[in-house]
Amino acid sequence: MTEIFTGNFTQQEPIPEEGIQAAIEVMRSGRIHRYNVAEGEDGETALLEKEFADQLGVKYCLAVASGGYAMGAALRAMGVVPGARVLTNAFTLAPVPGAIASVGAVPVFVGVTEDLVIDLDDLAAKADQADVLMLSHMRGHLCDMDRLMTICEANNLRVIEDCAHTMGASWRGKPSGLWGDMACYSTQTYKHVNSGEGGLLVSNDPELMARATILSGSYMLYGRHLAAPEPEVFEKVKYHTPNVSGRMDHLRASILRPQLRNLEAQCEAWNLRYRTVDEGIAETPGLTRINRPEEEFYVGSSIQFLLLDWDEAKIHEVIARCGKRGVELKWFGGKEPVAFTSRYDSWRYAPSEPMPKSDRVLKGVIDMRIPLTFTVEDCALIARIIKAEVSAVFQGA
């Protein structure tokens, strides 16, 4: 009998009851805007910022409307101007080059390796073309961060980390987000904590964070932040920094705080499911698993594998056959964007030159979400289905 998976790849876990109750209290108060607080009250958003900064081990944190907004604010805080060139990954999602384009800057794409991380040789070759690297830890894959920082420091490249997929991850024990000058996290529904939409921006640089805070729409209310620089830092920048409002509100912050407290356990649950799928697809003919270095602690909220050098029609056949058995796979190699999948040459607003080595990798990238609503047994079943269908297509069955 053919096995069929009946789970939902976009169904997330419910918000913790503690978060639901906190959200109800915010709504009952009517004080949803982050700066609308009662006398002596810190407010959910300021508390979220302080708690995340302490949890991560960083001085400053700013809660904003989205991860994409956080990236745009970071670029503006760094003084990136229209026409400036910003290095970024060829393998990423559209909000990353979109953030660069939103400030009038020009993305310069850096290649991807078969491990799905930024090609550090290509980065070294292009490092003199820009002053800023927007580093996307795409789909939770961390490159050799020691070597990357050595390249960037030698070329005076400032680094903004896009940690949308690496909240809770680390390289040699140092969390993602603490390597560069600034880091951006997403709290969109399909990320590691869920507020529907939202973002967090962190840094240890007081002037950058003072600018970002005013940019986010603090007006002159920055004194109501708990994880912000000292007031004298704001005095240096407040008259010269525009308001590009993108604040997080108390309602979203209230449902995020208990999720952050449970992040470590959630990461362990994701990784158990990830390993179950990854081990289950081992030794599948024609399928290349992604190498995960010992130095990397990842959070497996999604999984990728490669169908390297496969004919496009056969890739479509694998996706269709798995789909008929309930397993939803996404392909990053298509010439046209589909849902959230797209390639660096899909973004016509950003000039690009062909990168044959990267194009070969991208053509083979298959992606699958692993929501925590799946059980370990579900993941084992999914792996069996993928292995059977890839094997059948590869062997011409």
The predicted-structure confidence for 272-311, as pLDDT tens digits, reads as follows: 999 999 999 999 999 999 999 999 999 999 999 999 999 9
Q: Whose structure tokens read 């590869």?
A: 394
Residues in the chain: 397
Cα separation, 48 vs 325, in Å, equals: 41
Query: What CATH architecture is 17-261?
Result: 3-Layer(aba) Sandwich (3.40)
Mean pLDDT in the chain? Answer: 97
Q: What is the DSSP letter of 203?
A: E
Per residue in 130-189, pLDDT tens? 999 999 999 999 999 999 999 999 999 999 999 999 999 999 999 999 999 999 999 999
Q: Is the pLDDT of residue 357 over 70?
A: yes
- 160 sits in which H/E element: strand 158-162
pLDDT digits (tens, 9 = 90+) for 210-257: 999 999 999 999 999 999 999 999 999 999 999 999 999 999 999 999
Amino acid at 183: A
pLDDT of amino acid 397: 60
The whole-number average pLDDT for the span 82-107 is 97
Question: In the structure, what pLDDT confidence band is assigned to residue 356 with cuts at 50, 70 and 90?
Answer: very high
Does residue 340 have a pLDDT over 90? no
| Chain position carrying tokens 């929501």 | 371
Residue 112 has pLDDT above 80, yes or no: yes
Alpha helices by DSSP H, the chain? 17-29, 44-56, 67-77, 95-102, 120-126, 145-154, 206-215, 231-237, 250-261, 263-280, 312-324, 356-363, 376-394
Question: Would you say 74 and 182 are in contact if contact means Cβ atoms under 8 Å apart?
Answer: yes
C-beta atoms surrounding 325 within 10 Å: 18
Could you tell me the pLDDT band of residue 24, with boundaries at 50, 70 and 90? very high
Fold match between domain 17-261 and domain 263-394: no
Tell me what pLDDT residue 35 has: 97
- Whether 368 contacts 303, CB under 8 Å: yes
Q: Which of 16-30, 189-203, 347-361 has the lowest mean pLDDT?
A: 347-361
- The answer, yes or no, to whether residue 1 has pLDDT greater than 80, is no
Over residues 340-360, the mean pLDDT reads 91
Written as one letter, the residue type at 303 is I
Closest CA to 322 of 375, 360, 358, 284: 284
Residue identified by tokens 């690496």 is 166
Residues 317, 94, 201, 128, CA torsion sign: positive
CATH numeric code, 263-394? 3.90.1150.10
Q: How far is CA 71 from CA 74, 105, 119, 138, 334, in A?
A: 5, 13, 21, 14, 26
Task: Kindly compute the dihedral angle of the four CA atoms of residues 149, 155, 160, 164, in this order, to the nearest 10 degrees.
Answer: -50
What ranges do the domains of the chain cover? Answer: 17-261, 263-394
The predicted pLDDT at position 59 comes to 98
